[in-house]
Amino acid sequence: MRYLLSLLIINILVFANVDSIMPEPIFSDEEKAYLKEKKEITMCIDPDWMPFEKIENAKHIGMTEEHFRLFSKKINTPIVLIPTATWTQSIEFAKARKCDIFSLAMSTPERLGYMNFTKPYLTSELVIITQITKPFLDDPRSLTKQPLGITKDYAFIQILKMKYPNSNLIEFNTLKDGLEAVRRGEIFGYVDNLITSGYAIQKDYIGELKIAGKFDEQWNWGIGVRNDDLVLLSIFNKAISSIKNEQYREIINKWISVQYESGFDYELFFELMAFLLFITSLLAYRHYTLNKYTKILEEKERQLRTLSITDSLSGLYNRRHFDDIFFQEFNRAKRTELPFIYAMLDIDNFKKYNDIYGHQLGDIAISLVSDVLQHHTRRAGDYAFRIGGEEFALIFQSTQEQEDINQKKFENILQDIKNLRISHKVNHPSLLLTISCGATKILSYHNIDTLELYRFTDANLYEAKEKGRDRVVYKEIK
């Protein structure tokens, strides 16, 4: 319960993604003519997804309904609900062009085949719900091999399967079905967004289920618009941008307060206060006995040093640190006369990948490739860097005790990346996301410096691309 309240407070603070002061939408002449000609806009929703939305007595209710009252005023065109029985049926209706828009949805590569998506207007944490007896989870990603439920046809199914290929996801028709399976112990947990999960637990599962942890990922929802109507997409993007931040917060706060604070629970209040007093006393004692402030400052300083040399998306070292390490490790190898290996890598046709699948899945692809590179650079003296958008660099130093680094090492890296099975439909011939590599191993340092090594390795990478990509060009300088 306490964990749920804390997450809800954090979620309210970051929920709306719109600037506080927005102008009225300025529609082009083409958009004005379109709206004048368009008699109505048909809309499909998730018919059972409270507190976001629901069809009740043939009417649209919930948070999105209040948002669409604002949008409808901006575009001055009726938005008509097309009733459906399930979210899956709403998807089928959208594919069949029975509805022009989804009220609230997230982009996936499959959905881009029939819908485009506006900028987000709602955001929420991705959490895991378990039985109340289960421990809280510092890192839910460690549970990806456990049976976890998720609602059928939700966007995050594809994203989670891509990011965690060994995950054991079980699809349910509704959140209610999945939470019942958690309650009965048939699955370990259920993955959903914070707001819907908190609503369901408060309504039906107090004392039985809890939110046990959260993932790093977030749900970012916008309006889905049929992809053969770019004018309507532009209109809704402008309508979203014209709503003030205060108006979004007012809707969010209203629903959170109605559903989670409908009455003042004195018992919970005093229980929470007692818990907070205990924690405060414990922290004071630890501060006195362990000199906590000093340790916190030291840790913060360490974190700042790490952040200054780390790329935030990939978790690899950044270009700034590369510029330092490249010269430092090269000169060290030159002094000790040990082999020095430098490699440059590029994701093949990555601009086309972003154009087709979107930058959100592009970021996930970069993160997955980075995980492979980290796996292959775990020894002391090995380094992996992200030095540009889809560009990476590796440094290896050999010692007498360590295995020799040769072309096979880089071929294994490329194969592990291909084994991720990330679809890339214009990357021929594999139709998978692949990477090209130029690598150089220095055995003799006569008449070679870092600039010459960089140019030589860059030429190797260029040769790998010219020969068809998805390959290594490895050369030794003796």
pTM: 0.47
The whole-number pLDDT of residue 271 equals 60
The whole-number pLDDT of residue 149 equals 85
The whole-number pLDDT of residue 245 equals 76
The whole-number pLDDT of residue 304 equals 67
Residue type, 445: Y
> What domains lie within the chain, and their CATH numbers?
1-261 (3.40.190.10), 308-477 (3.30.70.270)
Q: Which residues of the chain have pLDDT under 50?
A: 1-22, 257-264, 266, 400-402
Query: Angle at the Cα of 213 (from 209 to 219), degrees rounded to 5?
Result: 105
9: exposed, middle or buried (Cβ count in 10 Å: 0-12, 13-18, 19+): exposed
From 110, 390, 403, 476, active-site residue: 390
Report which of 347, 386, 383 is spatially closest to residue 365, judged by C-alpha positions. Answer: 347
Residue 390 among the catalytic residues: yes
Q: Which residues pair with 225 in a beta bridge?
A: 101, 116
